[in-house]
Amino acid sequence: MKEEHPIVQNSTELYHPSPETVAQANVKDPEAVRIEAAKDIQAYWAKRAEELDWYKKWDKVLDDSDKPFYKWFTGGKTNIVLNALDRHVKTWRRNKLALIWESEKGEVRTFSYHAMNREVCKFANVLKSMGVVKGDLVTIYMPRIPETVIAMLATAKIGAVHSVVYGGFSVEALHGRIEDSGSKVVITADGGNMNGKKIELKKIVDEALKRSGQPEHVVVIKHLGIDVMMEQGRDYWYHELMTLPMSKNGLKCETEVMDAEDPLFILYTSGTTGKPKAILHTHGGYSVGIHATIKDVFDLKEEDRWWCTADPGWITGHSYIVYGPLIAGATSIMYEGAPMYPYPDRWWSIIEKYGVTIFYSTPTAIRGLMRFGESWANRHDLSSLRLLGSVGEPINPEAWRWFYKIIGKEKCPIMDTWWQTETGMFMMAPMPAQPLKPGSATKPFPGIDADVVNAEGKSVPVGEEGFLILKNPWPAMMRTIYKDPERYVKTYWSTYPGYYFAGDSARKDSDGYFWVIGRVDDVIKVSGYRLGTAEIESAFITHHAVAEAAVIGLPHEIKGMAIHAYLILKSGNEPNELLIEDLRKHISHELGPIAKPEKIEFVSSLPKTRSGKIMRRLLKARAQGLSEGDISTLEE
Ligand code: PRX
């Protein structure tokens, strides 16, 4: 709690929106809306829910009779697909582009709303024919290709629940998530392209399924055209299934009518234990929350071309690549590969080529591209841009200013959005018509009440660091941890009873602007990716040479945070470079390349409390040469 995140400062720099930005903004006076919403959050959210279609309107906006198991729009009947596709294909938007996709190699595919709906209907029929019914779990483990979107929507359409596992995860991470979810079907591809390399996903699925109770079926999309093993009776090619007679009536798949509170998806995210948490989101409130936020914060208009560079495998992809833009009837851009491939201007060339108007990305990517200098951006006409966005970690003012000046040409406000897998939608974010401060996510979204408190739950004075909490429920909030409601209550609602504990520290300045500093738990944000120290430690000790492991996150110039591991070896093992390389490979194989440690050190002991808990705080302080603080609980 004491250490400062080196890249976050307090700033008095203020960037005012241009008169044109204010004139065209969906929300002209954000402050007035915040004040109005705070007076009656239920009235506010009911109004926002009216913007969507419902099979049947709700009886009650918020049911808080069983806190913290809040329910929204109870009695309402909907399906996210009703708003994301069905309502659009009845209008002129059926001919509008829903998705423009470009592969890393430069192949382009486009889908109108009509085409997207047709593919979704066809695949929904395929899933049905495989015996998938309402409430069943489906794991989606994919590269960044249009079929990922189709698979998610088809699953939702028939009332099944998707669990998307990020394609950058590997065998053990995938195995754990398939097994915990009890998925009936796994949808994957032969592989994907990333940074000029072929990532062989089907091979990883095969290995994971050797460790898991088998799901009944695996559907494989042929994307790379590489050889894969197909197990008879279990594995099916997507393109063959999509031409079978049962999917001929593709356009005739009825959307399942769901209760507003029925589950839409689970998404695993890292926490403080080795076991990832399956965050559960529902159809009704989630649709309302992501629609309201994308409309107000990103000012989304009919003519916009929206590009969120995230992966559908994370919450940002769920909310703001797949569902948010589709509900808004927007045109979304999706790019398969790496930003530096083949050169560091790939992203800027995509913006120019498709006339992207709103570009939403991460501080790590911006810092990474900044390194190559502005000439890569200056080769391209970026004048179509009108708004920029940032998410996933604090953005340091230097990266903010570069983004603003070099990419936005000093005319595009940057929406720094603070939120989480658990919150489903933006909790704190500016709106275009409001002044910005580089590095601050500014203020809570209307209807959200945030505060910074001390260990006793009292608001801390202006400028002081404390724990970030949320005092009001909101429609897109997680409903529980799948199969573990006790952990839901304990993790989020027990530290400050009645309030949501976000796990971040923050400061509030005298203008009421919030400055998020970083995680205060054992979660590390590496390049914006969320990893748990315990999950990485568990993977380390499955290596034959490792007796004990402790993992911490330390500041990194580009990645924000980087993983440092301290290992005690089993006797008879040589602590040398070869072993370090082997251990890095092991982590990459078990969890994925994103979990590869920056540095591995061999030690003879680890600082522990008398009850045997590793004192990561102490390891961190020592590594950074900071004061060790209170060490009265240290064992030795
Ligand atoms: O620490 C905060 C950081 O990312 C965490 C949530 O991670 P995840 O569930 O993976 O979701 C990321 C995408 C929403 C938060 O607890 N974080 C996210 N956005 C910001 C941020 N930190 C500072 N500024 C942000 N804009």
Nearest CA to ligand 1 atom 22: 393
Task: Please give the distance, rounded to the nearest whole angstrom, from the Cα atom of residue 528 to the centre of ligand 1.
Answer: 7
Task: Please give the distance, rounded to the nearest whole angstrom, from the Cα atom of residue 18 to the centre of ligand 1.
Answer: 28
Tell me the residue type at 620.
K
Q: Are 346 and 398 in contact (CB under 8 A)?
A: no
Q: What is the 3-state secondary structure (H, E, C) of 433-479?
A: CCCECCCCCECECCCCCEEEECCCCCECCCCCCEEEEECCCCCCCCC
Task: Please give the distance, rounded to the nearest whole angstrom, from the Cα atom of residue 594 to the centre of ligand 1.
Answer: 16
Tokens of 291: 């629609």
Residue 113 CB neighbour total at 10 angstroms: 26
Q: Is 362 in the pocket of ligand 1 (CB under 6 A)?
A: no
- The rounded distance, in Å, linking the Cα atoms of 269 and 248 is 38
DSSP 8-class letter at 608:
B
- The rounded distance, in Å, linking the Cα atoms of 377 and 365 is 14
Nearest CA to ligand 1 atom 4: 392
Q: Are 311 and 144 in contact (CB under 8 A)?
A: yes
Q: Is 421 in the pocket of ligand 1 (CB under 6 A)?
A: yes
Nearest CA to ligand 1 atom 14: 420
Query: Ligand 1 pocket check: which of 279, 419, 513 to mutate, most ligand atoms within 8 Å of Cβ?
Result: 419
Q: Is 525 in the pocket of ligand 1 (CB under 6 A)?
A: yes
Q: Is 281 in the pocket of ligand 1 (CB under 6 A)?
A: no
Q: Is 503 in the pocket of ligand 1 (CB under 6 A)?
A: yes
Query: Ligand 1 pocket check: which of 286, 316, 393 to mutate, most ligand atoms within 8 Å of Cβ?
Result: 393
Q: Are 336 and 104 in contact (CB under 8 A)?
A: yes
Task: Please give the distance, rounded to the nearest whole angstrom, from the Cα atom of residue 503 to the centre of ligand 1.
Answer: 10
Q: What is the pLDDT of residue 355?
A: 98
pTM, to two decimals: 0.95
Q: What is the pLDDT of residue 296?
A: 98
Nearest CA to ligand 1 atom 6: 420
- The rounded distance, in Å, linking the Cα atoms of 430 and 213 is 46
Q: Is 367 in the pocket of ligand 1 (CB under 6 A)?
A: no
Nearest CA to ligand 1 atom 12: 392
Q: Is 441 in the pocket of ligand 1 (CB under 6 A)?
A: yes
Tokens of 127: 């899933």
Q: Which of 98, 48, 58 is nearest to 78 (CA)?
A: 58
Which H or E run includes 269? strand 263-269
Q: What is the pLDDT of residue 8?
A: 47
What b/e sequence results for 60-80 when a residue is b if at least 16 CB atoms lie within 10 Å of its CB, and e otherwise? bbbbeeeebebbbbbebbbbb
Q: Which of 119, 52, 43, 37 is nearest to 83 (CA)?
A: 52
Q: What is the pLDDT of residue 5?
A: 44
Q: Is 163 in the pocket of ligand 1 (CB under 6 A)?
A: no
Q: Which of 254, 561, 176, 628 is nearest to 393 (CA)?
A: 561
Q: Are 189 and 158 in contact (CB under 8 A)?
A: no
Task: Please give the distance, rounded to the nearest whole angstrom, from the Cα atom of residue 364 to the centre of ligand 1.
Answer: 12
Q: What is the pLDDT of residue 273?
A: 81
Task: Please give the distance, rounded to the nearest whole angstrom, from the Cα atom of residue 177 to the centre of ligand 1.
Answer: 21
Q: What is the pLDDT of residue 633?
A: 72
What b/e sequence results for 445-478 when a residue is b if at least 16 CB atoms lie within 10 Å of its CB, and e otherwise? bbbbbbbbbeeebeebeeeebbbbbbebbbbbbb
Q: What is the pLDDT of residue 251?
A: 67
Handedness of CA 495, 499, 500, 503 (dihedral sign): negative
Could you write out the DSSP letters of every residue in 518-541?
EESSSEEEETTEEEEHHHHHHHHT
Tokens of 331: 């045109």
Is omega for the bond preceding 342 within 30 degrees of 0, making it cis? yes
pLDDT digits (tens, 9 = 90+) for 256-315: 999 999 999 999 999 888 888 999 999 999 999 999 999 999 999 999 999 999 999 999
Query: For the chain, how many helices (H) and strands (E)?
Result: 21, 30
Could you write out the DSSP letters of every residue in 136-181?
-EEEEEE-SSHHHHHHHHHHHHTT-EEEEEETT--HHHHHHHHHHH
Q: What is the pLDDT of residue 636?
A: 61
Task: Please give the distance, rounded to the nearest whole angstrom, from the Cα atom of residue 100 to the centre of ligand 1.
Answer: 27
Place of tokens 């704190």: 428
Residue 494 CB neighbour total at 10 angstroms: 12
Contacts for 200 with CB less than 8 Å, ≥ 6 apart: 190, 191, 226, 228
List % helix, strand, coil for the chain (3-state, nearest 5): 30, 25, 45
Task: Please give the distance, rounded to the nearest whole angstrom, from the Cα atom of residue 279 to the centre of ligand 1.
Answer: 15
Nearest CA to ligand 1 atom 7: 420
Task: Please give the distance, rounded to the nearest whole angstrom, from the Cα atom of residue 321 to the centre of ligand 1.
Answer: 17
Tell me the residue type at 272.
T
Q: What is the pLDDT of residue 248?
A: 56
Tokens of 177: 């998530």
Q: Is 516 in the pocket of ligand 1 (CB under 6 A)?
A: yes
Task: Please give the distance, rounded to the nearest whole angstrom, from the Cα atom of residue 207 to the centre of ligand 1.
Answer: 31
Write out residues in the chain with pLDDT < 70, as ranges.
1-11, 245-251, 636
- The rounded distance, in Å, linking the Cα atoms of 359 and 32 is 27
Strands of the sheet containing 514-519, edge to edge, are 450-453, 466-470, 500-508, 514-519
Can you list the pairs that 221-224 forms with residues at least 24 positions away whose Cβ atoms lie under 8 Å? 221/142, 221/145, 221/147, 221/187, 221/188, 221/189, 221/190, 222/189, 222/190, 223/143, 223/145, 223/147, 223/189, 223/190, 223/191, 223/192, 224/189, 224/190, 224/191, 224/192, 224/193, 224/198
Residue 39 CB neighbour total at 10 angstroms: 8
Q: What is the pLDDT of residue 2?
A: 37
Task: Please give the distance, rounded to the nearest whole angstrom, from the Cα atom of residue 533 to the centre of ligand 1.
Answer: 16
Q: Is 530 in the pocket of ligand 1 (CB under 6 A)?
A: yes
Q: Which of 322, 321, 394 is nearest to 363 (CA)?
A: 394
Q: Are 454 and 466 in contact (CB under 8 A)?
A: yes
Mean pLDDT of the chain: 95
Task: Please give the distance, rounded to the nearest whole angstrom, from the Cα atom of residue 504 to the centre of ligand 1.
Answer: 9
